[in-house]
Amino acid sequence: MIRAVLLDILGVIYDADTPIAGAVAAVERLRRAGLPLRFVSNTTRTPREAMIEQLAALGIEVTDAELLTPARAAVEWLRRHECRPHLLVHPDLEAEFSGLEGGNGCAVVVGDAGDAFDYAGLNRAFRELVAGADFVALATNRTFKDADGLFSLDAGAFVAALEFASRRPPVVLGKPSPDFFLSALADVNCPAADAVMVGDDAESDVAGALRAGLGAALLVRTGKYRPGDETRFDPPPTAIVHDLAAAADWILNRAAA
């Protein structure tokens, strides 16, 4: 039986600033059923406060504890390892790392930097890695669906370039890291086997969740989904559903009474 639900945001609840049809009502139905919800996003361009405000504008109230982002995980990792960050992230995200300048070591932190992904920035990060800095990737997604409706390069390609050049594998803190999924369940008193993930990325959301031990992972045909995604990665989705509304139907039919 399902006792907790993890939801991706971009591509599942909204695209750009537009809610996906039926998504807001689906979230409300899951809440009314008493299921703990956690919103787990790999978005690394938007600060968490802005994400919470955007969801609220759509009619979905999300508490700070209910939203998990790679940036929050990175801040905790940097504090735990007493590292100051060398940031290669989107300028809008830099404020989330304030107050961490005094660490004993250094860690290169890479997210989706957008236009900040230029040669000079990548080379500075590379030189820090060669000099011995730790290597932290907020996420390794290949692509994302941009505001114009087309696919754009995500952080994964740039993380791979730095890994290739430096011969240093990164610590990945967002999806598909098993720790990221499990940390979402840490305060809901739910074993991974009783939780379900809903996402539009068959690799990071779905296969990642199943490898982390979640009992089910649903792939929606919205957002970045493309026909055939369900067969491209292993393990495959537990089910493929049209959208979050259909996912809610699937979940509620299997939820604990």
4-24 tens-digit pLDDT: 999 999 999 999 889 999 999
Please give the C-alpha separations between residue 67 and each of 14, 64, 134, 235, in angstroms, as whole numbers.
15, 6, 26, 25
Q: Are residues 19 and 111 in the same domain?
A: no
Residue 63 covered by a domain: no
Q: Quick one: which of 170, 169, 199 has its CA closest to 184?
A: 199
Distance CA 224, CA 15 (A): 9
Domain total of the chain: 2
Asked which of 140, 172, 204 is the last residue of a domain, the reply is: 172
Q: Check whether 257 has a pLDDT greater than 60.
A: no
pLDDT average, residue stretch 145-152: 88
Asked which of 150, 172, 194 is the last residue of a domain, the reply is: 172
Distance CA 55, CA 9 (A): 9
Q: Check whether 225 has a pLDDT greater than 80.
A: yes
- The mean of the pLDDT values for the chain is 95
The three-state secondary structure class of 37 is strand
Q: Are residues 80 and 159 in the same domain?
A: yes
Residue 235 covered by a domain: yes
